[in-house]
């Protein structure tokens, strides 16, 4: 009797204890079972496109909020518009940190000073505000318009030359080069020679595209440096080359600025704004390597993203001639016919009147966002989302492409239909920041939203409008435009666009 009583009581107590425990135990988002630590290494070597494919399969099983556990890391993925809005806008203060920078992007033992990887704090705020207000503010755009005109004329001439020697032109290299010229000019304030620009482009691209190869070093740096010795050396070499091309530019610019302080430099360049910043946490100025990394970040963030988007948009205009014709009609309606003998460029103020153009650019970013994810975010404390607990320090990312392709929000989501952005019922322009509601987020949303958003839209509108006004774009004979995607630093076309380019005007 006593024994029974004892057993029953202890069972009750343990049930009570475990239910109390459950009450306090965090209800983590659903996801597959924990992958063992070796999973870490296998996982790190997978290309992003494969990760995306796996996530889509997991999503059908676990829903739009899921958590993967790899070794000790917790990766949360969000694929719902309302949850993205709740996280990034409503709980913005908790969801805006970044995970510690990877070993391969750090290398030296100093903390890395970059906007995109900086922890959510005073240094990030200072650097971001400097870029956003001094360089990327719409009020500043006008001062770079001569540089845009210069780059556009150069691009037009290169396309003309290419179309004389080839029947169809592969355009991506020309787009990339044009964006590089633009951003290099905004960064260093000089119109550099082709050779110098190509030099910068080549190291920057080497570092970006080398990332998947170098990434294995991040798993266990001390060991990785020995096992992958060749890659390690290659990375050090690339960083050295980066210093060789960028540091002289920074030095010569700063020397000129200090010599000509009284005349006031003609156009403010990004480097100029960096020299006098005082880091709030360390109470000192940025040193040369730090200025270089910020310039490098500026180039990396603004070039391939924009040229990729430009290529996708042009590919759709080649593939769908009726959309191209409608855009051409809109343009001529605003600026008149281009069939005069003199090459004239569309000016920036004219773009404001071209609503179909704006719709095409937005549709391009929805259907083909250059990044299918944002940069990884980190939460700074335990936070509840949709009844689940996102644990402190978890990495959070958003399925950007899937948000733009969701049939619940977009009708016929896989089709290219710029009209969907034309007339919103309220008559207001589409809000791409997602502050009120997120329908797509090619630039992210909330406090970490891309600060280059307005500049990127201007670049896309300006180049698309002019390229369509000056040339007619015709599909390659007997071929179709292949819109298959391939994941690189950005999501590029697997078979880059080739098109016949026929000037609508007699140039020269």
Ligand X SMILES: *[C@@H]1O[C@H](CO)[C@@H](O)[C@H](O)[C@H]1NC(C)=O
Residues that bind ligand HEM (CB under 6 A): 115-116, 128, 298, 301-302, 305-306, 309, 370-371, 374-375, 442-444, 448, 450-452, 455-456
Q: Name the residue nearer to ligand HEM (CB basis): 356 or 373.
A: 373
Instruction: Please report how close the Cβ of residue 111 comes to ligand X at its closest, in angstroms.
Output: 8
Residue 128: name its binding partner from ligand X, ligand HEM, none (Cβ under 5 to 8 Å by kind).
ligand HEM
b/e map of 318-335 (b: 16 or more CB within 10 Å)? bbbeebbebbbebbeebb
What are 286's strand-pairing partners? none
Instruction: Please report how close the Cβ of residue 192 comes to ligand HEM at its closest, in angstroms.
Output: 17
Beta strands 73-78; 395-398: pairing state: parallel
Instruction: Please report how close the Cβ of residue 308 comes to ligand HEM at its closest, in angstroms.
Output: 7
Q: Name the residue nearer to ligand HEM (CB basis): 128 or 149.
A: 128
Residue 302: name its binding partner from ligand X, ligand HEM, none (Cβ under 5 to 8 Å by kind).
ligand HEM
Q: Name the residue nearer to ligand X (CB basis): 325 or 392.
A: 392
Concatenate the DSSP letters of all residues of 194-238 into one string. HHHHHHHHHHHHHHHHTHHHHGGGGTSHHHHHHHTHHHHHHHHHH
Question: According to CB under 6 A, which residues from 59 to 78 bind ligand X?
Answer: none
The CB-nearest residue to ligand HEM is 452
| 314 CB-contact burial (10 Å; exposed 0-12 / middle 13-18 / buried 19+) | buried
Residue 455: name its binding partner from ligand HEM, ligand X, none (Cβ under 5 to 8 Å by kind).
ligand HEM
Q: Name the residue nearer to ligand X (CB basis): 232 or 469.
A: 232
> Is 392 an interacting residue with respect to ligand X (CB under 6 A)?
yes
Residue 306: name its binding partner from ligand X, ligand HEM, none (Cβ under 5 to 8 Å by kind).
ligand HEM
Residue 224: name its binding partner from ligand X, ligand HEM, none (Cβ under 5 to 8 Å by kind).
none
d(C-alpha 175, C-alpha 369), whole Å: 17
| 210 CB-contact burial (10 Å; exposed 0-12 / middle 13-18 / buried 19+) | middle
Instruction: Please report how close the Cβ of residue 154 comes to ligand HEM at its closest, in angstroms.
Output: 19
Instruction: Please report how close the Cβ of residue 142 comes to ligand HEM at its closest, in angstroms.
Output: 16
3-state secondary structure of 114: coil
Q: Which two tokens stand for residue 235?
A: 């990375």
Considering only CA atoms, which of 311, 29, 365 is closest in space to residue 176?
Answer: 311
Could you tell me which residues come within 8 angstroms of residue 32 by beta carbon, excluding any fewer than 6 positions away? 58, 62, 68
Instruction: Please report how close the Cβ of residue 287 comes to ligand X at its closest, in angstroms.
Output: 12
Tell me which of 60, 109, 276, 349 binds ligand X, using CB under 6 A. Answer: 109
Q: Name the residue nearer to ligand HEM (CB basis): 64 or 302.
A: 302
Q: Name the residue nearer to ligand X (CB basis): 393 or 454.
A: 393
Count of residues that bind ligand X according to CB under 6 A: 3
Quote the radius of gyration of the chain (alpha carbons, Å).
26
Q: Name the residue nearer to ligand X (CB basis): 281 or 415.
A: 281
Q: Name the residue nearer to ligand HEM (CB basis): 211 or 220.
A: 211
What are the backbone angles phi and psi of residue 19, rounded to the nearest 5°?
-75, -35
Q: Which residue in this structure is represented by tokens 């240094």?
A: 123
What are 70's strand-pairing partners? 35, 73
Q: Name the residue nearer to ligand X (CB basis): 132 or 389.
A: 389
Q: Which two tokens stand for residue 318?
A: 């080649």
Instruction: Please report how close the Cβ of residue 447 comes to ligand HEM at its closest, in angstroms.
Output: 7
Residue 189: name its binding partner from ligand X, ligand HEM, none (Cβ under 5 to 8 Å by kind).
none
Residue 312: name its binding partner from ligand HEM, ligand X, none (Cβ under 5 to 8 Å by kind).
none
Q: Which two tokens stand for residue 201?
A: 């482009």
Considering only CA atoms, which of 347, 351, 393 is closest in space to residue 98?
Answer: 393
Interface map 284-313 toward ligand X (x if CB under 6 A): ------------------------------
> Any idea how long the chain is?
508
d(C-alpha 385, C-alpha 392), whole Å: 13
Instruction: Please report how close the Cβ of residue 375 comes to ligand HEM at its closest, in angstroms.
Output: 4
What is the 3-state composition of the chain as percent helix, strand, coil, each rounded to the nearest 5? 55, 10, 35
Tell me which of 49, 168, 196, 393 binds ligand X, using CB under 6 A. Answer: 393
Residue 178: name its binding partner from ligand HEM, ligand X, none (Cβ under 5 to 8 Å by kind).
none
Q: Which two tokens stand for residue 307?
A: 């040229």
d(C-alpha 370, C-alpha 319), whole Å: 19
Instruction: Please report how close the Cβ of residue 390 comes to ligand X at its closest, in angstroms.
Output: 12
Q: Give the DSSP letter of residue 35.
A: B
Residue 109: name its binding partner from ligand HEM, ligand X, none (Cβ under 5 to 8 Å by kind).
ligand X
Positive or negative: CA dihedral 80, 86, 92, 98:
negative
Instruction: Please report how close the Cβ of residue 111 comes to ligand HEM at its closest, in angstroms.
Output: 15
Instruction: Please report how close the Cβ of residue 109 comes to ligand X at its closest, in angstroms.
Output: 4
Where does this chain bind ligand X (CB under 6 A)? 109, 392-393
């Amino acid at each position: 009797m006593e024994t029974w009583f004892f057993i029953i009581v202890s069972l009750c107590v343990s049930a009570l204890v475990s239910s109390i425990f459950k009450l306090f135990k965090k209800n983590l988002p659903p996801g597959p079972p924990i992958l063992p630590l070796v999973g870490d290494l296998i996982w790190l070597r997978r290309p992003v496109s494969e990760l995306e494919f796996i996530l889509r399969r997991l999503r059908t099983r676990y829903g739009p909020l899921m958590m993967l556990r790899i070794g000790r890391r917790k990766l949360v993925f969000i694929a719902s518009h309302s949850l993205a809005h709740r996280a990034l806008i409503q709980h913005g203060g908790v969801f805006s940190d970044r995970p510690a920078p990877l070993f391969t992007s750090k290398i030296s033992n100093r903390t890395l000073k970059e906007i995109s990887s900086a922890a959510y704090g005073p240094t990030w705020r200072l650097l971001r505000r400097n870029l956003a207000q001094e360089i990327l503010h719409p009020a500043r755009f006008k001062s770079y318009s001569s540089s845009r005109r210069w780059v556009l004329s150069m691009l037009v001439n290169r396309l003309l030359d290419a179309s004389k020697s080839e029947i169809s032109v592969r355009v991506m290299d020309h787009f990339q080069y044009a964006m590089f010229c633009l951003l290099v000019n905004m960064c260093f304030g000089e119109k550099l020679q082709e050779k110098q620009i190509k030099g910068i482009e080549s190291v920057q691209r080497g570092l970006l595209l080398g990332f998947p190869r170098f990434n294995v070093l991040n798993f266990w740096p001390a060991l990785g440096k020995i096992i992958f010795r060749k890659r390690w050396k290659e990375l050090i070499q690339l960083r050295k080359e980066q210093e060789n091309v960028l540091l002289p530019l920074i030095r010569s610019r700063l020397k000129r600025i200090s010599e000509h302080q009284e005349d006031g430099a003609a156009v403010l360049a990004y480097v100029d704004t960096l020299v006098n910043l005082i880091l709030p946490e360390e109470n000192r100025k940025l040193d040369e390597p730090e200025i270089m990394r910020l310039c490098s970040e500026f180039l990396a963030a603004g070039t391939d993203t924009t040229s990729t988007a430009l290529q996708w948009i042009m590919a759709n205009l080649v593939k769908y001639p009726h959309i191209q014709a409608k855009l051409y009609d809109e343009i001529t309606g605003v600026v008149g016919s281009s069939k005069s003998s003199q090459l004239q460029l569309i000016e920036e103020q004219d773009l404001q009147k071209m609503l179909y153009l704006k719709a095409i650019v937005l549709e391009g970013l929805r259907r083909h966002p250059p990044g299918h994810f944002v940069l990884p975010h980190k939460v700074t404390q335990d936070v509840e989302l949709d009844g689940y607990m996102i644990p402190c320090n978890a990495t959070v990312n958003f399925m950007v492409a899937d948000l733009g392709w969701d049939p619940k929000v977009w009708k016929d989501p896989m089709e290219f239909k710029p009209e969907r952005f034309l007339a919103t019922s309220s008559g207001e322009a589409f809000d791409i920041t997602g502050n009120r509601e997120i329908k797509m987020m090619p630039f992210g949303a909330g406090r970490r939203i891309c600060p280059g958003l307005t500049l990127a839209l201007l670049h896309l509108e300006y180049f698309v409008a002019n390229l369509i006004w000056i040339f007619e774009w015709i599909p390659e004979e007997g071929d179709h435009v292949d819109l298959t995607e391939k994941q690189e630093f950005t999501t590029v076309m697997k078979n880059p666009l080739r098109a016949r380019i026929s000037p609508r005007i007699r140039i020269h």
